[in-house]
Amino acid sequence: MNNIINNILSLLGTGDYHSGSAIGRRIGVSRAAVWKQLQKLVDLGLDLESVKGKGYRLVGGFEALSNEAIYPLLNLSAKDHISELEIFSHLESTNSYTMNRISEGGAKGYVCLAEYQSAGKGRRGRKWVSPFGHNIYLSIAWEFDGGASQLEGLSLAVGVAIVQSLKEIGLEKAVLKWPNDILLDKKKLGGILLEMQGDPSGVCQVVIGVGINVRMKASADIDQPWTSVANHLSDISRNELTGLLLNNLIAMLLVYEREGFSEFRKDWEGMDALQAEKVVVVTGTTRISGIANGVYPNGSLRLTVEGVDQPIYGGEVSLRRVSDN
């Protein structure tokens, strides 16, 4: 993103009106150049309002993600264990970028954020809709020495840390849907995507991807009910929420290294959106109906089918409440 757009974003970030000529004077460009750059903001999906006699404003203002705002919010443990925190205006995917960093070596504790993803990734190969400047797209690199088996339940523990963060900002009704969804009022608020590389039976690296809708606008690309933090909280800072997420995620990872999912299982079940609900599990063309009764110690779903419990593992699987079908 060029410096002119960054300067305009900084100027309009308060949400106040500024005339085209005033913007031009402040940043040292012509009014025509200002108009051209303002159109780019519209193309990015920002809500630019133009009123004759007043000028232009970004509805709701704009808060850029920044190291200067996030770093002071981190506790000492997070500062000690985050090796680097990078923020990009545009990436194809924070997870893909972080996976590449792992390939270069020494990436444990690396944190990547982006204002916009052109190829954001969700579970099961789905696209993660990632408009500019509206949400949080975050990836963390971590290393484990117990192979893939040590990662069983990790995505659920990540969910616990995220919901704890959301509750701390006042979203008391935030819950989890197995295996990787964060819900609020039965609508999707966020999701988790884990990707691994390395030795499946030894030292391996995992990228923990987190997407949270903060100021999401209507999108025809989302094929399920969704919500946004700003729909429930009138004043929310993306930088403050990012700092809180990082504090809780790093704390979770340090415990998970020692204790695994067992330390988080009770909390997860207390946040389970489908506890004791009639559900349908869909895997390919197979549908299994039963009662969701929490999770096993390895993070698999405990599904009760005609009185018999059976584990359902993550992967290419979809879980739905019967009443939602």
Which pLDDT does position 325 carry in this prediction?
A: 58
Identify the active-site residue in 79, 108, 186, 320: 320
Which residues of the chain are in CATH 1.10.10.10 domains? 3-58
**Which residues make up the CATH 2.30.30.100 domain(s) of the chain?**
278-324
User: Would you state the CATH architecture of domain 278-324?
Assistant: Roll (2.30)
* Sheet arrangement for strand 301-305: 308-312, 301-305, 286-295, 278-283, 318-321
Q: pLDDT value at position 43?
A: 86
| In contact, 153 and 255? CB cutoff 8 Å | no
Of the CA atoms within 13 Å of residue 306, those in its CB half-sphere come to 1
Told to judge if 167 belongs to the known catalytic residues of this protein, a careful annotator would answer no
Please tell me the CATH code under which domain 67-270 is placed: 3.30.930.10
* CA angle centred on 157, ends 171 and 78, rounded to 5°: 80
Torsion from C-alpha of 161, 150, 211, 232, nearest 10 degrees: -30
Type of residue numbered 88: F
24 neighbors 8 (Cβ within 8 angstroms):
no
Which of 1.10.3210.10, 3.30.70.3000, 1.10.10.10, 1.50.10.100 would CATH assign to domain 3-58? 1.10.10.10
- CA 53: distance to chain centroid? 39
pLDDT at 150: 87
Taking alpha carbons only, the member of 195, 194, 205 closest to residue 104 is 205
**Would the pTM of this model clear 0.85, i.e. be above it?**
yes
Catalytic residue flag (residue 188): yes
CA distances from 74 to 163, 256, 257, 279, 313 (A): 18, 20, 20, 39, 34
Does 123 participate in catalysis according to the annotation?
A: yes
The pLDDT of residue 311 is 94
The dihedral built from the CA positions of residue 74, 187, 123 and 258, taken in this order, carries a sign that is positive
Bridge-based pairing state of the strands 136-144 and 204-212: antiparallel
Collect the ranges in the chain with pLDDT lower than 50. Answer: none
179-192 pLDDT tens trace: 999 999 999 999 99
Instruction: Please tell me which residue in 26, 108, 188, 321 is annotated as part of the active site.
Output: 188
Q: Annotated catalytic residue: which of 57, 101, 123, 215? A: 123
Q: Where do the CATH 3.30.930.10 domains begin and end in the chain?
A: 67-270
